[in-house]
A and B are shown apart, each in its own frame.
Chain A
């Protein structure tokens, strides 16, 4: 957090930070104070909350699909959310900010989850391979649709479009944080309650029911919470890929596969990872910044390939 606060176009020292929260004095550095409180603090908070949400949602989706390789991005949920958001941005640029974009993003995410589960479910079983392939198709369709929309879009819409596609925390400010926070925090806090049920779920739907798990409720609530979380994350920051895949994996190597540990630990690790990633994205090319989504994809893509190779061995 401290590191995330101090890195950026306006360099801030630890002393500035302490001054900003009124612990020490730093005369003549008011601009640093402004940068910290008005720009960087909301941004770091947004990074932490988004990272936590993506981490938890990734872990929950992997549990739901009974496969450690599932991820909201891979099965097309993030792309669906982005398409929802972009659609609103281009078609109704006047209605732009406020609640409409997040709602559209959640709707896009929800529609995708529903579609993927629907396609992948046969004879009461969810086929992960089918889900991933459906995700590939949905990613392609959403990507192409977004491409078409960029042709229709005017210049200002185009700028926000780029933001959605690469993922960035650059729009963070206090009002936006107030809207996004509840939608990001709710799944992060509620999903860990499904940990024992998700553990049993890994044995198969029948086995979970035979252990007394209310499987219908799990099947409805977990995707709903993931939809809300991913939709809100995409609405606030655009598509930040691979956090939901990489974080639960790293966490599992430390805690083992028990969801009672994996879910909360993924929230913490996701928050830390995204704050660091954002700090890096701001730090490497100061004063310009690399979209953080590009950075996570650059790191996450090879990580995913490495996982595939390791599983084969």
Chain B
């Protein structure tokens, strides 16, 4: 029971961007993917989302090949937060969240639709903004609205088969408080059975909130496992191409980069 890649090779424009990548998103787990720019993080997400067909290897959801899923059925079980979400039309925040219910459009009664939207608004503390046009919000507020839209797509989390969410840098544009509040919320949702793929640039947030981390470098998995073991000076140096030093503050081990030789 998972959303997973098995030994996936992917080429883009003649360049191999993923080399025998395997990873598994389990229901109830937050799985963070870390890596430098161009390491293949977004490619992993796109293959898991079904956007790209790998040349070799398997992509499966609940032990069934992803390609066999009908688009609407897939959309009811997994939602994707794209790297840059857009909306140039004056939908209210509430109506934007309503767009996330599209895969349920035939099944939803008006009451269920409203319940899903209300639930998603609450997840991202968006109630005060519900009636505002998205186009009038700040970048960070828009990001939260799109995260809520993606969550609305998966409501209710406990019904039937497990739900998965793929988040491409969800904390981008969020201030410290909202970033933390989002991650704490994701922990709560994971406890309710949601499987989370989280593409991140923040090693320390990943160490604190993820159950599993995968480190990518040059399209290859260089470390995978619990943050405590997978994140070490050696793997991080290979991943980011610069030395990082751990600092223990008594509660958590923080990774701090050393200065880059400017020659």
Residues on A lying within 8 angstroms of B by beta carbon are 66-68, 196, 199-200, 202-204, 206-207, 209-214, 252, 256-258
Indicate whether B91 reaches chain A with its CB closer than 8 angstroms.
Answer: yes
The answer to the question of B88 belonging to the interface, with a C-beta cut-off of 8 Å to chain A, is yes
**Contacts A212-B102, A258-B95; A203 near B86 (Cβ below 8 A):** yes
Shortest Cβ gap from B105 to chain A (Å): 6
A209, B166: Cα distance in complex, Å: 14
- The stretch among B3-11, B58-66, B75-83, B212-220 that forms the contact with chain A is B75-83
Pair A256/B102 contact, Cβ less than 8 Å: no
Contacts of B73 in A (CB 8 A): 212
CB-nearest residue of chain B to A128: B88
Binding site for A on B (CB under 8 A): 49, 51, 71-76, 79-80, 82, 84-92, 95, 99-100, 102-103, 105, 146, 149, 153
Once the chains bind, are A256 and B95 in contact (CB under 8 Å)? yes
The distance in angstroms between the C-alpha atoms of A263 and B84, with both chains bound, is: 27
Instruction: Report whether B80 and A213 are in contact in the complex, using a CB–CB cutoff of 8 Å.
Output: no
**Residue in contact with A210 in the complex, picked from B49, B87, B88, B92, CB distance below 8 Å:** B49
User: How far apart are the CA atoms of A308 and B213 in the complex, in Å?
Assistant: 48
- Contacts A/B (CB < 8 Å), 24 sampled: A66-B86, A67-B88, A196-B102, A199-B99, A202-B86, A203-B146, A204-B82, A206-B51, A207-B80, A207-B85, A207-B86, A210-B49, A210-B75, A210-B82, A211-B99, A211-B100, A212-B73, A212-B74, A212-B103, A214-B71, A252-B89, A256-B90, A256-B95, A257-B91
* Closest A residue, CB atoms, query B153: A211
Main secondary structure of the interface of B (DSSP, over half): mixed
* CB atoms of A68 and B85 under 8 A apart: no
A211 to B73, CA, bound (A): 10
Kindly identify which residue among B85, B90, B91, B102 contacts A211, using a CB–CB cutoff of 8 Å.
B102
Contact yes or no, A209 B71, CB < 8 A: yes
CA distance A20 to B87 in the complex (A): 51
CA distance A209 to B102 in the complex (A): 11
Q: A210-B79, A258-B95 are in contact. Are A252 and B90 (CB under 8 A)?
A: yes
A162 CB to closest chain B CB (Å) equals: 38
Q: Which of B71, B92, B95, B146 has the most CB of A within 10 A?
A: B71
Tell me whether A203 and B87 are in contact (CB under 8 A): yes
B99, A256: Cβ atoms closer than 8 Å? no
Q: How many Å lie between the Cα of A153 and that of B170 in the bound state?
A: 62
B75 engages A212 (CB within 8 Å): yes
**Contact (Cβ within 8 A) A213 B71:** yes
**In the bound complex, how far is the Cα of B90 from the Cα of A256, in angstroms?**
7
How distant is the Cα of A257 from the Cα of B95 in the complex, in angstroms?
A: 10
Residue of chain A at shortest CB distance from B92: A256
For A67, the chain B residues whose CB sits under 8 A away are: 88
Contact across chains for A211 and B86 when beta carbons are under 8 A apart: no
Chain B positions within 8 Å of A212 at CB level? 71-76, 102-103
